[in-house]
Structure 1
Amino acid sequence: MWLTKLSERLLNNVVTETSQTRPRGRPPKSGGPATRDLLLGAALDRFARQGFAATTVRQIAADTGVRDSAIYGHFASKQAIYDALFEEAGPASFEALGIDVASLCAAGPRNAVPELVARVMDGWSEPRARRFLSVLLRDGTGDGGPGGLALAIEAARDRLQEPFLQWQRDGLVRSDIPARQLVWELFAPLQIPRLLHLRADTGDSDLAAARALVEDHVSFFLKCVITPERIN
């Protein structure tokens, strides 16, 4: 499912990149979303080449052909630009994934877990998220550094444990393992297919390999955590 969506998005991304022009000066309001996307792309190029600390707002503005002041109509600071990229490629969150916690709890683990993982992999498979991965590993959360990345991971574990807590109360998943640990056991192994196969130059074979690893992991995870009486 997420592989099909990615193929469509990759095609749309190619069409967009070949058709966009870079306006000079302050863009009209109607061009806001396109300019914002250009700023993110230019910032990502700079962060990848020279790092977060060495990149300036002026450089990003020059790369996109807009005035420095025009950037602040889209982002409050350089860190805000980084945060937007981090939201796409960083630790999963309900907000970034557009998931309602109550709906997730009601769906049950057998349906909700594969959907949740698919949405995470969709986001991580986006071209910009794949390019940002190397930046993320080096710079963490920008000014927060790698330590900030560790805090973001812990915050995600706190948030994502909510459905597992409910499923434990409902007797749907094992209760002898803390909910936060279940979140870790679900998401930590996803970093392996991500690091191995979701690079900036990823091709169809890499995407297929990542998908196979993810599907095997989700199947194994559910067999391990769903209560025995619920399996049959």
Structure 2
Amino acid sequence: MNRPAPRRRPGRPAKADAGDTKAELLRAALTLFARHGYAGTSVRAIAREVGLSESVLYAHFPGKQAIFEAALALGGPHITVAAIAGLDATPAGSPAAYVRDLAAAVLDAWDTPEGRRLASLAARDGLMHDPALADAIDASLEHLAGVFRRWLDDGLIRDDLGDADDLAYALLSPIAHARVLWLHDDATPAQRDKARERALRHADLFARAVTPPAARG
């Protein structure tokens, strides 16, 4: 019969485990922050979550604020920027294909344990107004606006719906709304499926709306 691995006793980890200790602490911290908020999570609780002593934790982080900031980076705003920036805006296909690919890429980035925990933490601790999140949103919108601006200049999409900034916001905002509603730490599989369905349906609708009638075939 297979026995569960023994829980690690508090203390300094073996050298073989040292490289994973920091990542393990950050994953535990993000889980606890999402569950209890910043104020409701102690350094001791984070250390105990992974069976370590506080002294080991402090060997990696100077304090709770540093843990908090590093934990946010696991599923933080940068993943949205990376998902959007990583797409080729001039594929062999059409702008409509890019719009659909973008929605799928963003959902894949958000629908991870870390991404969902960040959504819960943002709602719990008011991080919707965090400067890092605001900067990432602005960066994502700016990148998308640049894509739409090139398409408008090339006549690939309709020019009567708004300018490039309007179009970027119109595409991304409903997808982000689906994340807030259905891609949080307590989301059920059905809710996660709903988030993906709604976001992809929006992408399809948006793609049809911006495609000139002559290009729809």
TM-score range, shorter chain: 0.7 to 0.9
Alignment identity in percent? Answer: 31
Instruction: Give the deviation of 1:59 after TM superposition.
Output: 5.0
Provide the residue aligned with 1:180 in structure 2. 165
The alignment partner of 2:158 has SS state of coil
Residue 34 of structure 2, aligned match among 25, 48, 51: 48
Partner of 2:122: 136
Q: When the two structures are superposed, what TM-score results if normalisation uses the length of structure 1? A: 0.70
Instruction: Give the TM-score taking structure 2 as reference length.
Output: 0.74
Q: Which amino acid aligns with 1:71?
A: H
Cα RMSD for the two superposed structures: 3.4
For 1:106, what is the secondary structure of its paired residue? coil
| Deviation by residue 1:174-215 (Cα, 9 ceiling, x = unmatched) | 334222221211111113432333233333332332232122
Question: How many angstroms apart in 1 are the aligned matches of 2:113 and 2:163?
Answer: 35
Residue of structure 1 aligned with 2:12, choices 13, 25, 28:
25
- 1:146 and 2:129 are equivalent in the alignment: yes
User: Aligned match of 2:70 in 78, 81, 94?
Assistant: 81
Return the structure number with greater helix share. Answer: 1
1:110 aligns with 2:96: yes
Deviations 1:110-157 (A, max 9, x none): 22111111111112221232222121124355xxx7242334322321
Contact 1:105 1:167 in 2 (8 A): no
Residue 179 (structure 2) aligns with: 194
1:137–1:146 contact (8 Å) kept in structure 2: no
Which of the numbers 80, 84, 93 marks the counterpart of 1:92? Answer: 80
CA distance 1:80–1:219, change in 2 (3 Å): same
Q: 1:33-62 CA deviation, whole Å, 9 max, x = no partner? A: x43432222211332344335656565345
State the number of aligned residues.
Answer: 206
User: Is the CA contact 2:84–2:106 (under 8 Å) kept in the aligned structure 1?
Assistant: no
The answer as to whether partners of 1:105 and 1:166 remain within 8 angstroms in 2 is: no
- Three-state SS of the structure 1 residue aligned to 2:91 is helix
Which letter maps to 1:154?
A: D
Asked whether the 8 Å contact 1:43–1:81 carries over to 2, the reply is no
Structure 2, gaps ≥5 residues long: none
Classify 1:209/1:220 alpha carbon distance in 2 versus 1 (closer, same or farther; 3 Å).
same
Task: Give the match for residue 161 of structure 1.
Answer: 145
Aligned twin of 1:217: 202
Alignment-mate amino acid for residue 129 of structure 2: P
Offset at residue 105 of structure 1 (A): 2.7
Q: Distance in 1 between matches of 2:177 and 2:40?
A: 30
